[in-house]
Chain A
Amino acid sequence: MTKTDNAAIHAPISRRGFAVGAVAAAGLAALPVRAQEKFPDKTIEVVTHAGVGGGTDITARMMMVHAPGAFKTEFAVVNKVGGSGAAALGYATGKPRDGYTIMLITQTHLLTIMQGKAQVKYDEIVGLARATDDPQILMVGKSSPLKSASELIAAGKAKPLKVGATQLGGVDHLAVFGFAKKAGIQQPTVVPFRGGGDIVINTVSGNVDVGILNYAEAESQVKAGDVRPLLTLAAKRLGPLPDVPSAKDLGLDASYSTVRGFVALKGVPEDRLKILEDGLLKAMGGQMYASYIQTSGQSPESVAGRKGWQAQLDAFYTEGQDALKALGLLK
């Protein structure tokens, strides 16, 4: 039922997407990018799917504090809200692939592409630099009987846990699904909430057994002892939580994090990609950006270059596709 509904709704989009793509391609052929031009010599647009003031929007603006110095040109944020990134991807598709349009994306964009809701294909996404890397952490409320990661896993084997997460079929849900599979626990019941704040509240009050959260989302509750972090879903322990075991400590290869990073669309000349990568890394190496990463409780190794970022995107895309299929959310 659900599957056929999806198919019926999305068929027209892919047709239109194809048409727009074709038009854009024709436009590109007519206006070849001259590689010898000085790059960049005009304003670079950063397209985000977040509204002004949203988390991703703030990340973009923090990078931009030092960007004019690093690039010797101006930057502007373009907020294209809607369709879980589809509006932002659509906007960027309509722009010439000359490097003056870059996107700040999250995994949500990749999920949108997977479901065929965007006008681009995954192989057109070219990673430039990672901006934030925020590991997912499993946390329980103060009054929860679960005291350690091993108790959590034992409880999860006995009966399905209730886990507070965001959007069904979203990044959190895939992390819960993947962790459950790797830890060999019963698939939990995911209770979806609108945002991290709601998950924290319902974890503290015990409405859900476990909350899947980023450190910053629950920092004050962790410090006040209202919430107990049990397991960091990463290969390494998180700096501010040295006593919380990582998945690798338990022998699990379960790394799930919320990432944001800059990408361009395929077609931008290689020399410009390199200039963009170097400039972005330089801008994010600035003091303002470093203190933003630190105060928002993100991993200090958040910023990464093209190679690592592209590998992470590829891994998420492959695993996410399998998970969505297993959950019946993707044909």
Chain B
Amino acid sequence: MDAVLAGLAAISDPYMLFLVLAGTVLGIIVGALPGISGSTTTALLLPLTVMMSPTQAIAFLGAIYCAANYGGSITAILINTPGDPSASATAFDGYPMAVRGEAGRALGMSAVASAIGGIFSVFVLIVAAPLLARLAYQFGPPEYFALAVFGLSMVAAIGGDSAVKNLLAAAFGVLLATVGLDLTTGVERFTFGVYALSDGIEFIPVLIGLFAIAELLEQAAQHGIVQKVIALETVKLPTLADFRKCAKAITISSVIGTFIGVLPALGATTAALFCYNETKRWSKYKHEFGKGAIEGVAGPEAANNAAVGGAMVPTLALGIPGSTTTAIILAGMIVQGVRPGPHLFTEQPTLLYVVFWSMLAANLLYLVLGLGAAKLFARIALIPNAYLWPAVFVLSVVGAYAPNQSMIDVWTMLIFGVVGFALRRYGFSPAPLIMGLVLGKLVEETMKQSLLIFDQSWLMFLSRPVVVVLFAVTLAGLFAPVIAKAWRRVRA
């Protein structure tokens, strides 16, 4: 208890509060800019934090991390361009809402759902970190394989209308994931001698292309047609009824998002995509999804912010980062002479509570800023197309180029813009493609690692309890419609 209060006292210092506020505002801004993610920002500011005390540095970096995950949703909703990869699922329903003139409602819901998910995960971090951290040791390649198979088994159901088209798009995504140097053989696949492809197809340019450029082309194709004037005379915030409708989505996603965040290999992006599926599965209004369902914004936003607290768990408890950004925060702590790990909980309890309080404060701050400024942000939707889309194009090019300073990434982005445009024309949804791209590599690598561990014996998968449970859930999910039909026939 002393440590709790000591931590609170440490962050009540005016300079600390200023750093948390500065980190939050900065996080929202960089989160909203496509291509500049929370991880890039924390990395660039790392030398700056060297001048701070360890507690100040960690509070500052933690605040950026929390807020950047929320900021990504702003551009995802307003211009269909995820500002951060973790907000890609938010665009599925957030942008249709904005087109309908409900940008304020979507932005407000995003702020609230993000804050709830984030705060939930921060509490999990502080209460269960030492216990939860042990989960990481339970998850080896076979368990990740089963989890990824479970994720892929759901692609038929997400986005779009046709299960067959979803499966085709997902298969294309898995195929794209095979490009690059194969971890288990050291052989390059589908790189055609282009060395920029040897690390695989970069995720960020693909996302920017599929969303922003495809949308730009879509808008351009409508040139000459009388433009729909977006009804946005009064920007409305979400109502109490909206929150009631989304309560279930937020609850489920907060829990699953935190769990996925704890797993070292999976981060906020996977959490958001997973929870988009789960939200749809548990929703009473499945038909609204993809067309502007408010639950479709609440679910992934709660999830990607819950993953933030989750990712801090292995970082602090094991010294093993749960995501890219936590890897940089970890480096920052090490430079400060603080080495996270199992002993951190006993040696420096105050520091742990500083992380807790500052992340809690950051979540509350962006909630206030987000709700207060949602109306301001939403006005972006009122900017005439002639100004908005050229600006989006410039941002997309910069965003694709910035992370790796590579022109190949810009070409990738443009190619996937055309691909995304064509896909939409023929009734495909980008969601399963992204799912395939994210999970494809995980499925393949973990399967090969597992077989090396099992001396190439497939049956050994069944000797792992977690794997058996996950396989059972996958089978149940796949055959649920068949079983339900058969059951009804028996009853009739």
Q: Are A and B a genuine interacting pair, yes or no?
A: yes
Which of B92-100, B146-154, B338-346 is the contact stretch?
B338-346
Q: Are B186 and A168 in contact (CB under 8 A)?
A: yes
A87, A191, A202, A220: the one within 8 Å of B319 (CB): A220
Q: In the bound complex, what is the Cα–Cα distance between A200 and B265 (angstroms)?
A: 13
B335, B344, B403: the one within 8 Å of A51 (CB): B403
Q: Closest CB-CB distance, B58 to chain A, in whole Å?
A: 15
Q: Are A13 and B193 in contact (CB under 8 A)?
A: yes
Known contacts A162-B452, A205-B137, A205-B138; is A169 also within 8 Å of B46 by CB? no
Q: Are B335 and A295 in contact (CB under 8 A)?
A: yes
Q: Does A90 contact B (CB under 8 A)?
A: yes
Interface string of A208-249 (1 = CB under 8 A from B): 100000001001110110100000000000000000000000
Which of A19-27, A28-36, A57-65, A145-153 is the contact stretch?
A57-65
Q: Chain A: how many interface residues by the 8 Å CB criterion?
A: 62
Q: Does B12 contact A (CB under 8 A)?
A: no
Q: Which of A145-186 contact B (CB under 8 A)?
A: 162, 167-170
Q: Are B140 and A202 in contact (CB under 8 A)?
A: yes
Q: Does B480 contact A (CB under 8 A)?
A: no
Q: Does B365 contact A (CB under 8 A)?
A: no
Q: How large is the interface on B (under 10, 10 to 19, 20 to 34, 35 or more residues)?
A: 35 or more
Q: Does B406 contact A (CB under 8 A)?
A: yes
Q: Are B453 and A162 in contact (CB under 8 A)?
A: yes
Q: Are A295 and B339 in contact (CB under 8 A)?
A: yes
Residues from chain B with a CB closer than 8 A to the CB of A292 are 335
Q: Are A197 and B47 in contact (CB under 8 A)?
A: no
Residues from chain A with a CB closer than 8 A to the CB of B39 are 52-53
Residues from chain B with a CB closer than 8 A to the CB of A220 are 318-319, 339-344
Known contacts A53-B324, A197-B264; is A81 also within 8 Å of B406 by CB? yes
Q: In the bound complex, what is the Cα–Cα distance between A5 and B138 (angstroms)?
A: 38
A201, A291, A296: the one within 8 Å of B320 (CB): A201
Q: In the bound complex, what is the Cα–Cα distance between A224 and B339 (angstroms)?
A: 12
Q: Which of A87-135 contact B (CB under 8 A)?
A: 87, 90, 117
Q: Are A224 and B343 in contact (CB under 8 A)?
A: yes
Q: Does A10 contact B (CB under 8 A)?
A: yes
Q: Does B321 contact A (CB under 8 A)?
A: yes
Residues from chain B with a CB closer than 8 A to the CB of A224 are 341-343
Q: In the bound complex, what is the Cα–Cα distance between A168 and B187 (angstroms)?
A: 9
Q: Closest CB-CB distance, A206 to chain B, in whole Å?
A: 9
Q: Closest CB-CB distance, B63 to chain A, in whole Å?
A: 17
Q: Does B334 contact A (CB under 8 A)?
A: yes
Q: Does B42 contact A (CB under 8 A)?
A: yes
Q: In the bound complex, what is the Cα–Cα distance between A41 and B403 (angstroms)?
A: 29
Q: Are A207 and B191 in contact (CB under 8 A)?
A: no
Interface string of A41-63 (1 = CB under 8 A from B): 00000000001110101100110
Nearest residue in B to A15 (C-beta to C-beta)? B193
Q: Are A12 and B193 in contact (CB under 8 A)?
A: yes
Residues from chain B with a CB closer than 8 A to the CB of A194 are 183, 265, 445
Q: In the bound complex, what is the Cα–Cα distance between A300 and B154 (angstroms)?
A: 51
Q: Are A223 and B343 in contact (CB under 8 A)?
A: yes
Q: Are B138 and A82 in contact (CB under 8 A)?
A: no
Known contacts A198-B264, A201-B136, A208-B453; is A117 also within 8 Å of B195 by CB? yes
Q: Does A6 contact B (CB under 8 A)?
A: yes
Q: Are A201 and B406 in contact (CB under 8 A)?
A: no
Q: In the bound complex, what is the Cα–Cα distance between A82 and B180 (angstroms)?
A: 10
Q: Does B387 contact A (CB under 8 A)?
A: no
Q: Does B405 contact A (CB under 8 A)?
A: yes
Nearest residue in A to B403 (C-beta to C-beta)? A51
Q: Does B349 contact A (CB under 8 A)?
A: no
Q: Does B14 contact A (CB under 8 A)?
A: no
Q: In the bound complex, what is the Cα–Cα distance between A5 and B403 (angstroms)?
A: 31
Interface string of B365-380 (1 = CB under 8 A from A): 0000000000000000
Q: Are B196 and A201 in contact (CB under 8 A)?
A: no
Residues from chain A with a CB closer than 8 A to the CB of B283 are none
Known contacts A167-B181, A191-B452, A219-B339; is A65 also within 8 Å of B195 by CB? no
Q: Are A226 and B342 in contact (CB under 8 A)?
A: yes
Residues from chain A with a CB closer than 8 A to the CB of B337 are 291, 295
B136, B181, B184: the one within 8 Å of A84 (CB): B181
Q: In the bound complex, what is the Cα–Cα distance between A93 and B48 (angstroms)?
A: 32
Q: Are A192 and B340 in contact (CB under 8 A)?
A: no
Q: In the bound complex, what is the Cα–Cα distance between A254 and B335 (angstroms)?
A: 30
Q: Which of B168-200 contact A (CB under 8 A)?
A: 181, 183-188, 191-193, 195-196, 198-199
Residues from chain B with a CB closer than 8 A to the CB of A55 are 331
Q: Does A86 contact B (CB under 8 A)?
A: yes
Q: Does B44 contact A (CB under 8 A)?
A: yes
Nearest residue in A to B144 (C-beta to C-beta)? A198
Residues from chain B with a CB closer than 8 A to the CB of A18 are none
Q: In the bound complex, what is the Cα–Cα distance between A146 and B149 (angstroms)?
A: 34
Residues from chain B with a CB closer than 8 A to the CB of A315 are none
Q: Does A299 contact B (CB under 8 A)?
A: no
Known contacts A9-B192, A87-B196, A117-B195; is A295 also within 8 Å of B334 by CB? yes
Q: Are B198 and A168 in contact (CB under 8 A)?
A: no
Q: Are B320 and A200 in contact (CB under 8 A)?
A: yes
Q: Closest CB-CB distance, A104 to chain B, in whole Å?
A: 16
Q: Are B334 and A296 in contact (CB under 8 A)?
A: yes
Residues from chain B with a CB closer than 8 A to the CB of A167 are 181, 183, 186
Q: In the bound complex, what is the Cα–Cα distance between A205 and B185 (angstroms)?
A: 24
B residues with CB within 8 A of A: 39-40, 42-44, 46-47, 50, 136-141, 181, 183-188, 191-193, 195-196, 198-199, 264-265, 318-321, 324, 327-328, 331, 334-335, 337, 339-344, 403-406, 408, 445, 449, 452-453
5 contacts between A and B (CB under 8 A): A52-B44, A167-B183, A204-B137, A205-B137, A221-B318
A residues with CB within 8 A of B: 2, 5-6, 9-13, 51-53, 55, 57-58, 61-62, 64-65, 78-84, 86-87, 90, 117, 162, 167-170, 189-194, 197-198, 200-202, 204-205, 207-208, 216, 219-221, 223-224, 226, 288, 291-292, 295-296, 329
- Report, nearest first, the 8 A-B pairs whose CB atoms are least far apart: A220-B341, A53-B43, A83-B195, A169-B186, A220-B319, A224-B342, A168-B186, A197-B320
Task: Name 15 extra pairs, CB < 8 A, besides A201-B136, A288-B50.
Answer: A9-B193, A51-B43, A53-B324, A65-B47, A81-B406, A82-B406, A167-B183, A189-B452, A192-B449, A200-B318, A205-B140, A207-B140, A221-B341, A223-B343, A296-B334
